[in-house]
Amino acid sequence: MAFPNLVLLLTLFSFLLLFRSTQSKLSADYYNKTCPKFQNIMQTILAEKQLSAPTTAAATLRVFFHDCFVNGCDSSMLIASNAFNKSERDANVNLSVAGDAFDLITRVKTALELGCPGVVSCSDILAVSARDLVVMVGGPFYEVVLGRKDSRESNPSIVDKNLPKALTPMNELLSLFSSKGFSAEEMVALVGAHTIGFSHCKEFANRIFNFSKTSEFDPAYNPVFAQGLRKLCANYTKSPAMSAFNDVYTPGKFDNMYYKNLQIGLGLLSSDQAMVTDNRTKPFVD
């Protein structure tokens, strides 16, 4: 069954790939001559990794988004910190990114370096990995043009102002996405990536504990869902790794259940649930 919002979502992902890449001539067959086994090598490792660690798809998609929204899809998110410089990866908002994504890129890059040394960029590896993993978990295929170059700089100080957070108000969310060239409809589609993956309890604890003087939890939640989250996250301050699926029904499937969940009070994050109450975004959720 095809879902129009998902097609739009994947079209937007492909649009993200063009950020700051206009100086290079990108093409779908960029590596056909210089690394003819590029796709085969990638698909083998991606399949093995996703099967052994099902969180890989969501983690990689998140890394891809976080990379693209900060100075473009240049793999600056993949640069590690050292004694002389902190990188984007160590910005507060990126500390919760699952390590499976970085492990995957390292595995793919290592294999490609053995097959065609010094040819394939990490930026292209990340872009294709995000696309192929989305397909593996049920999303539609979309073309990724290749040939982008890797950044040699990674500045954590510019990360926070460029990425949306769980508690970011709707006005600021719309403004942020607008600054990147995306409409309200496109923002709703992109946030639909939350159809896979999970969020740590600290990201929504404000909605389930001591929400107000009259309610322990946010009344926008389905009450049964809220009680379940309260039990799940009861000890989250002692166990910061505690988390919940963004989509309680089909957490590992790339579908449109995320939007249906928002309509019945099953939106996990404040920023998610706000999209179904704000008149600027609700029509697109619906």
Q: Over the chain (286 residues), what is each successive 10-residue block's mean pLDDT? A: 57 58 76 96 97 96 96 94 91 90 97 96 98 96 95 93 94 97 96 95 96 96 97 95 95 96 96 96 97
How far is 111 from 1, CA to CA, in rounded Å? Answer: 36
pLDDT given for residue 44 in this prediction: 96
Catalytic, out of 19, 63, 64, 66? 66
Query: What residues have CB less than 8 Å from 189, skipping those under 6 apart?
Result: 5, 8, 9, 12, 284
Fold of 170-284: Peroxidase; domain 2 (1.10.420)
Burial of 5 (0-12, 13-18, 19+ CB in 10 A): middle
Query: DSSP state, 147?
Result: -
Q: Annotated binding site for heme b: which residue ranges?
A: 194
Fold of 37-161: Peroxidase; domain 1 (1.10.520)
Q: Annotated binding site for substrate: which residue ranges?
A: 164
pLDDT given for residue 22 in this prediction: 44
pLDDT given for residue 98 in this prediction: 86
How many angstroms separate the Cα of 125 from the Cα of each of 32, 106, 133?
15, 10, 12
How far is 149 from 73, CA to CA, in rounded Å? Answer: 9
pLDDT given for residue 285 in this prediction: 97
Residue intervals in the chain for CATH 1.10.420.10: 170-284
Burial of 27 (0-12, 13-18, 19+ CB in 10 A): exposed
pLDDT given for residue 192 in this prediction: 94
Residue intervals in the chain for CATH 1.10.520.10: 37-161
Q: Is the pTM of this model over 0.95?
A: no
How far is 220 from 200, CA to CA, in rounded Å? Answer: 19
Query: Cβ(66)–Cβ(95) under 8 Å?
Result: no
Query: Would you call 200 a catalytic residue per the annotation?
Result: no
Task: Read off the tokens for 99.
Answer: 């390590």
